[in-house]
Each structure stands twice: as C-alpha cells, then as structure tokens.
C-alpha cells in the first residue's frame, strides 16, 4: 500500500447526503473479478447526466471529493473504494460516513476525513467559486486547508498510522501467528465446522 | 461477579486473540461465509502472496448474488455473471473451501443458508463479504459484513483486527397489533433513528415484542440493522433459539449440545449492564410500514401520505426529500395507499424464508394478482423452496398468478436478469430502496411479506386488512 502523508489537489463538491455505495458503483459492475479498472463505474448512473459534477469541464482531474453527510451507506462493496481510487480520488471529505465504507477506505489507502458539516459547506463554497482551488490534506497534522480555511479533521488513529506507514493488514496480523494458534486450541468442541 | 456486561461485550471478549493498547483487538472468527461477488479479488490476493486459506473447515461458500432464478440447470447466460460464478468454483476447489453451487440442495442466499444448516449459533463471531451478515445476530452471534480486503484477511488468518463497537439497546415492548410483522418493526426503527443512527453501534433488540418473534422474524429485524447504519444486530438466545437449532445438520449433538446450551444461556446481557445508547419503541402503536423514498429511513405507516419537503426539519433533509420524491415520481400529500405498482418482489435475505412465504401465501389464498402486476416469488434458499413446495405454497402462488422461481438474491439487487425496467415501481420485501437498486431507473417501496401480497392483489400499496374477503 502506498503511504499517505500530505496530498494537494483540486476538489469536487458533491452536494448530496446519503450517497450510498449503490450510487458510488452500481451492482452491475461488481461482476468483474479484477481489482482495478473501475474508473468507468464510479457514479455510473449519475455520470450519464452531462451536468453531473464530475462531468463538468472545470472539475476534471480532481483528486478530492467533498460530500454531504452519511457518505458510503449501504452495501459493503469494497469496489466503491476501488472505483473512487481508480477515478483518481485520494481522499473524501464528509461530516459522517458509513462504518463499513470507512473501514474499507482505510484498508485500501483512501483517506476519509471527517469534518463538521459547516466546514464542508465552507469548502463547497470555496471550490464552487474557484474549481481550481488547491486543497491540501495533511495527515500528520490532521488538517485540511484551502484558501484561508484551515480545519482539523477526525480520522481513526490506527487507520492514520497505517496510512502514514503504508502498512498492509495481513502482514501485521501474520506476526501474531503463534497467538492465533494458541487461541485455536481453546475452541470448544461444540462449535460447528463445515 | 465481574462488571455487568452486554451480550456484545461477552461475545467480543470470548474471541480476543490479542488485545492491543491503542490498537484494534485481534478477533477470532468462528465462521466465514463466502459468495461469488466479494471473494474473487480476495482469493487473488492470497494467490499473489502465496498464502493458503487458514481454516477451510470454518469457511463455506454458496452462489447467490448473480445467479439466475429460472433455467438453473442451464449454463448462466450472462457471460460476466458466469465468469464470476466459475471463478468462485475454481477458487473453492483450489483452496479447499466447501461450496454449495447452483443446483445443490443447500444452495441459497448466504444468510438463509447459514442458519438453516445450523452453522449459525449463539456466541459465535460470523463474517461475510456482505453487509446483511447482521442477519445472523438473531441467534446471539456477533455477525457483521466486511469488505473484500477483510475477506482476504480472514481467509489468510481467521482473524480480524477490530475496534469494539458501541452498544445500543432497542427495546420494543408490548404486543404487536394484528397484521404487524417484524419487517414493520424494523422499518419503524430505522425511520425513527435514521440511516446513520446506528453508526458505530451493535443494536441489541430486546423487549417482549422481540421475545415473541420467531427466529425468522428476528432474522428480518437483525438483517436490516445495517440500514440504520449499524454493523450488527443482536437478539439474546432463548428457548426459541434453542428449539430452532435442535437437530439442525451442524448443531451440536449429545453432550456437546448440553455444553453448548449452557454456554448460550450465559450470553444474554446482564440485568444491570449499561448500553451506550437506548431507544424505546411501543409495539402497540406500530402498524404496517412502507418506504416512500430512496433510503430505508424514508418510511411511514401505510395509512400516511407522501411528506412535504417544506415540512423538513432542516435543509439537508429538505433536499433529500425533494431528490427522493423526484426520483420516485411522487407528489407530496398523495396517500401511500394510492400508489400503484408494476411489480411485487417477495424474497431476499430479509423476507425470503419459509415463514415469509407462508404469510404471503395466506393472503393470496383464494385471491389473484391484479392485472398488470407481476408478482415474483423467489425463495431464499433451495431448501426453503422445497419446503414451500411440500406445503403446497407454490400452488397457492401459481394459482394467484405469481411466478415461482429458484433460490437466490434475484431482484433484491438485480445482478441477475430479474430487474425492474426504468421507471417501473415495485413493492419489495427486500431491504434497500436505493435508486436503481432493483434495476436502473426502478423505484422501490420496501414492505413486509403481508403487505407485498396484499399489494399484488390490490395493485396499489395495501395491507391485508384493505382487501375484500377472499373468494
Ligand atoms: S438478498 Fe439482497 S441483501 Fe440479501 S445477500 Fe442477496 S443481495 Fe444482499
């Protein structure tokens, strides 16, 4: 996994709440068996609308998505994270996320920074009046800055550490093999096996 | 006696492999359920890293999400679906994982299969790359959905690094009025706490209305915990649970059964344990509930009318209502009962179990599906299908003019050919009314099996009480 320390890029305002993972990537794209190449699937049905924010010429090449509350609700599909990343997003900003989506993002290396909704509103205003405004996300300092605005965001400490180090989860757990084996010896016989 | 604990805390504590300060706990996973959609990239990851599946004996796979529900004996027509299913078959073979494929009597929706085989038991930790894994919490198991990276993690290590969840008690007290089912309870809960209200929590459903539910009803409720934003739902195991599990194929036998029941009885939340949050619902005030919008929190009693965006509590909500009404093509003030549907879908891991089919069949007996309405009945598993056929329910459905299908997820998420056409409207017993969930442009109203059946007969959203006496 690639380490994440500081990222600067332009951002797209997604003025919607409750963006569920069916919108982020519709189910029909989940049939693929590969791990990359989902950029065309991102927000596929909304992108049919030429006015959709990501279709507008001024928001091409964005790497940060600024969304309304309850982003990533619904299905656990990790493809939602891959689609956002394949499209070029490095981070999402929102005032609230669905748990599974947030967990999946941390694992995949997509930063989900949590900010008060008022801050999101302010960022929306800035990037709507100037689509080229550069947004900087500093994971070490846990801050988002754009123009005059500097705001601290929330991110899980452990996820932050893993993102900063670029560490893979399975590798970390494998270091505890002996503990797992010891634990397995205590498994009661009444528990089912397949 | 130690500190009083909730059931979630007990199950959690019993599965901690290592406890890390400032780090997640490493939690042991008792059962890992697999299906074709969220596993291919995980198996790929194992192969890349040269890792085996650590415990194939605690891992089981079935085919459900994108398989067809007709012509199940023929090769899958959609080439992409076929590749995904074939990939699962190859992966299971290569890594030694037990698979119940299409055509096998144990095949079905993963959350219907686990419980009916007795693989889902109280006090277990159960995961699956599917958010509705919360279903299994009905047995007092800590069960939650995971993403594909986590699927790979569990395949490789049989563990997951996790931070403890907070706990929320949802107490539903009192007797349910006639015609009100588990589905109505959970739709009312979600409408009350919102689609984000359960975020970070395990919801423990308690109170007399929950105690009086069958295992099927409890599964319906736990299933939709995720729609309130929660990772998991829980119901304390009791005599109803034990009776359901007795003599299931994978249930413990003999002395093991006694030891298991003793352990299971130790699981319910201690009487003086503290929850992080609590919600109380008076069961006697509930009535059939339906959704009108595009998230499961946008629901109302069937007797209500479409809300007015102008009445919203705040701007975010106002916009959400407007967007939902525009997508759903509905006008504020329209009585819900006047909304006509094209399709009724009876099935899914929420309401595709035998009891759900029985409830719908009881409404349909002696009645017929309205002209211009299509009723699709899709059992949750092949076993459910066979059971229904042995009870003659298939004949009731067919006589009423319904389609009787093979088992799978089907129109719950429309990954197979069972889809709504753009602009079509459905009453569906599934769990998600998101935009396009049942097919691009499709419009979904979530309902109970009873309401689904009555709606199929009337042609507009209805409860059995709204129907004329059956002939
Ligand atoms: S029935 Fe629907 S919700 Fe349940 S597992 Fe299948 S797709 Fe998911």
Report CA-CA distances (Å) from B300 to B192, B221, B278, B289, B439: 10, 17, 22, 6, 24
Residue B4 above 80 pLDDT? yes
Question: Where residue B1 falls among pLDDT bands split at 50, 70, 90?
Answer: low
Chain B residues with CB under 8 Å of A183 CB are 17, 28
Question: Where residue B49 falls among pLDDT bands split at 50, 70, 90?
Answer: confident
Q: Say whether residue A50 is in contact with chain B using an 8 A CB cutoff.
A: no
In chain A, residues 9-28 whose CB comes closer than 8 Å to chain B = 15-18, 20, 22-23, 26-28
Q: Cβ(B420)–Cβ(B426) under 8 Å?
A: yes
Residue of chain B with shortest Cα separation from A81: B147
Q: Cβ(A164)–Cβ(A4) under 8 Å?
A: yes
Instruction: Quickly list H helices, B307-461.
Output: 315-328, 348-351, 354-364, 382-390, 393-400, 449-458
- Percent pLDDT > 70 in chain B is 100
CA distance B153 to chain A (A): 6
Given its phi and psi angles, is residue B367 left (phi above 0), alpha (psi -120 to 50 degrees) or beta? beta
Chain A residues with CB under 8 Å of B190 CB are none
> With a 6 A CB cut-off, is B429 part of the ligand 1 pocket?
no
Q: What does the block give as tokens for B180? A: 């009100």
Contact B80 A32 (CB under 8 A): yes
Per-residue model confidence (pLDDT) at position B203 = 98
Question: Where residue B214 falls among pLDDT bands split at 50, 70, 90?
Answer: very high
> With a 6 A CB cut-off, is B171 part of the ligand 1 pocket?
no
Distance separating alpha carbons of residues A119 and B6, to the nearest angstrom? 37
Question: Where residue A1 falls among pLDDT bands split at 50, 70, 90?
Answer: confident
Distance separating alpha carbons of residues B407 and B384, to the nearest angstrom? 8
Contact A31 B84 (CB under 8 A): yes
Q: Say whether residue B25 is in contact with chain A using an 8 A CB cutoff.
A: no
Task: Give the pairing of strands B277-282 and B166-173.
Answer: parallel
Per-residue model confidence (pLDDT) at position B48 = 77
Q: What does the block give as tokens for B287? A: 């009535």
Residue A143 above 70 pLDDT? yes
Segment B239-284, tens digit of pLDDT: 999 999 999 999 999 999 999 999 999 999 999 999 999 999 999 9
Chain A residues with CB under 8 Å of B440 CB are 26, 45
CA distance A23 to chain B (A): 7
Per-residue model confidence (pLDDT) at position B201 = 96
Chain B residues with CB under 8 Å of A31 CB are 37, 66, 78, 80-81, 83-84, 415
Contact B149 A176 (CB under 8 A): no
Which of the two residues, B29 and B73, has the higher pLDDT score?
Answer: B29
Report CA-CA distances (Å) from B15 to A187, B130, B429: 10, 21, 34
Q: Ligand 1, closest atom to CA B432?
A: 3
Mean pLDDT within A133-139: 98
Which among B18, B117, B128 has a CA at the least distance from the CA of A100?
A: B128
Residue B386 above 90 pLDDT? yes
- Percent pLDDT > 90 in chain A is 79
Report CA-CA distances (Å) from B236 to A35, B174, B188, B265, B368: 39, 17, 21, 9, 40
Mean pLDDT across chain B, nearest whole number?
Answer: 96
DSSP state of B176: P
The pTM of the full predicted model, rounded to 2 decimals, is 0.88
Contact B121 A33 (CB under 8 A): no
Distance separating alpha carbons of residues B147 and B128, to the nearest angstrom? 8
Mean pLDDT across chain A, nearest whole number?
Answer: 94
Which among B181, B127, B101 has a CA at the least distance from the CA of B382?
A: B101
> With a 6 A CB cut-off, is B430 part of the ligand 1 pocket?
yes
> With a 6 A CB cut-off, is B109 part of the ligand 1 pocket?
yes
For residue B83, count CB atoms less than 10 angstroms from its CB and return exposed for 0-12, middle for 13-18, buried for 19 or more.
Answer: middle
Q: Which residues of B291-306 are buried (b: 16+ CB within 10 A; e: fewer)?
A: bbbbbbbbbbbbeebb
Residue A191 above 90 pLDDT? yes
Residue A74 above 70 pLDDT? yes
> With a 6 A CB cut-off, is B133 part of the ligand 1 pocket?
no
Chain B residues with CB under 8 Å of A52 CB are none
Size of the A and B interface in Cβ pairs below 8 Å: 194
Give residue B311 CA to ligand 1 midpoint distance, Å.
34
Contact B146 A75 (CB under 8 A): no
Q: Residue B346 belongs to what H/E stretch?
A: strand B343-346
Contact B196 A45 (CB under 8 A): no
Segment A2-50, tens digit of pLDDT: 789 999 999 999 999 999 999 999 988 987 788 788 999 999 999 999 9
Q: Say whether residue B299 is in contact with chain A using an 8 A CB cutoff.
A: no
> With a 6 A CB cut-off, is B130 part of the ligand 1 pocket?
yes
Contact B153 A169 (CB under 8 A): yes
Per-residue model confidence (pLDDT) at position B275 = 97
Chain A residues with CB under 8 Å of B35 CB are none
Give residue B432 CA to ligand 1 midpoint distance, Å.
9
Q: Say whether residue A56 is in contact with chain B using an 8 A CB cutoff.
A: no
For residue B16, count CB atoms less than 10 angstroms from its CB and return exposed for 0-12, middle for 13-18, buried for 19 or more.
Answer: middle
Per-residue model confidence (pLDDT) at position B53 = 98
Distance separating alpha carbons of residues B220 and A51, to the nearest angstrom? 40
Contact A194 B131 (CB under 8 A): no
The backbone torsions φ and ψ at residue A23, rounded to the nearest 5 degrees and listed phi first, read -80, -40
Q: Cβ(B152)–Cβ(B56) under 8 Å?
A: no
Segment B346-355, tens digit of pLDDT: 999 999 999 9
Of A87-101, A155-169, B13-27, B137-151, which range is least confident?
A155-169
CA atoms within 13 A on the CB side of B18: 19
Distance separating alpha carbons of residues B372 and B366, to the nearest angstrom? 19
Which among B316, B424, B416, B441 has a CA at the least distance from the CA of B78?
A: B416
Question: Where residue B80 falls among pLDDT bands split at 50, 70, 90?
Answer: confident
Residue A78 above 60 pLDDT? yes
Chain B residues with CB under 8 Å of A104 CB are 147-150
Residue of chain B with shortest Cα separation from A169: B153
């Amino acid at each position: 996994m690639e380490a994440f320390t500081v990222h600067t890029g332009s951002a797209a305002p997604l003025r919607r709440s409750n963006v569920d993972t069916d919108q982020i990537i519709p189910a029909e794209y989940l049939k693929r068996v590969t791990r990359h190449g989902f950029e065309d699937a991102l927000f596929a049905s909304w992108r049919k609308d030429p006015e959709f924010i990501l279709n507008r010429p001024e928001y091409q090449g964005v790497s940060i998505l600024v969304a309304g509350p309850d982003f990533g609700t619904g299905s656990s599909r990790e493809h939602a994270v891959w689609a956002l990343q394949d499209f070029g997003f490095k981070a999402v900003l929102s005032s609230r996320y669905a748990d599974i989506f947030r967990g999946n993002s941390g694992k995949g290396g997509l930063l989900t920074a949590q900010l008060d909704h008022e801050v999101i509103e302010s960022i929306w205003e800035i990037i709507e009046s100037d689509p080229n405004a550069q947004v900087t996300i500093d994971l070490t300092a846990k801050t988002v800055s754009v123009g005059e605005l500097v705001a601290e965001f929330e991110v899980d400490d452990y996820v932050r550490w893993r993102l900063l180090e670029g560490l893979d989860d399975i590798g970390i757990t494998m270091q505890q093999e002996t503990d797992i084996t010891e634990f397995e010896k205590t498994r009661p016989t009444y528990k089912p096996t397949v | 006696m130690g500190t009083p604990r909730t059931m979630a805390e007990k199950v959690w504590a019993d599965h901690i492999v290592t406890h890390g300060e400032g780090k997640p706990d490493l939690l042991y996973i008792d059962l890992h359920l697999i299906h074709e959609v969220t596993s291919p990239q995980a198996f790929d990851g194992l192969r890349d890293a040269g890792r085996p599946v650590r415990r194939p004996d605690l891992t089981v796979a079935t085919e459900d999400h994108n398989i067809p529900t007709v012509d199940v004996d023929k090769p899958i027509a959609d080439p992409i679906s076929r590749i995904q299913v074939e990939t699962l078959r190859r992966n299971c073979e290569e890594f030694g994982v037990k698979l119940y494929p299409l055509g096998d009597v144990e095949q079905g929706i993963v959350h219907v299969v686990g419980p009916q085989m007795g693989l889902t038991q109280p006090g277990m930790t159960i995961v699956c790359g599917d958010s509705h894994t919360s279903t299994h919490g009905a047995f007092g198991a800590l069960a939650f959905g995971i993403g594909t990276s986590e699927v790979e993690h569990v395949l490789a290590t049989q563990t997951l690094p996790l931070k403890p969840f907070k706990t929320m008690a949802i107490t539903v007290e009192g007797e349910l009025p006639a015609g009100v089912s588990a589905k109505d309870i959970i739709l009312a809960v979600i409408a009350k706490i919102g689609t984000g209200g359960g975020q970070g929590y395990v919801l423990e459903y308690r109170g007399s209305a929950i105690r009086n539910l069958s295992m099927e009803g409890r599964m319906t409720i736990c299933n939709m915990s995720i729609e309130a934003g929660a990772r998991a739902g829980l119901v304390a195991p009791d005599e109803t649970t034990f009776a359901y599990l007795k003599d299931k194929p994978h249930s413990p036998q003999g002395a093991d059964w006694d030891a298991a029941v003793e352990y299971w009885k130790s699981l319910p939340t201690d009487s003086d344990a503290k929850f992080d949050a609590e919600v109380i619902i008076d069961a006697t005030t509930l009535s059939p509930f339906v959704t009108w919008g595009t998230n499961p929190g946008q629901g109302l009693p069937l007797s209500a009318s479409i809300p007015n965006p102008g009445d919203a509590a705040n701007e975010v909500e106002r916009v959400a209502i407007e967007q939902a009404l525009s997508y759903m093509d509905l006008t504020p003030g329209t009585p819900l009962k006047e909304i006509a549907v094209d399709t009724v879908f009876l099935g899914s891991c929420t309401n595709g179990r035998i009891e759900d089919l029985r409830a719908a069949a009881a409404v349909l007996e002696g009645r017929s599906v309205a002209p211009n309405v299509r009723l699709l009945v899709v059992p949750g598993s092949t076993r459910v299908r066979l059971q229904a056929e042995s009870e003659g329910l298939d004949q009731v459905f067919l006589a009423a003019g319904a389609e009787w299908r093979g088992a799978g997820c089907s129109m719950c998420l429309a990954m197979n050919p069972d889809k709504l056409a753009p602009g079509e409207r459905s009453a569906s017993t599934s769990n998600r009314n998101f935009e396009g969930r049942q097919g691009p442009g499709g419009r979904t109203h979530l309902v109970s099996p009873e309401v689904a059946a009555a709606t199929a007969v009337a042609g507009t959203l209805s409860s059995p009480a709204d129907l004329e006496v059956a002939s």
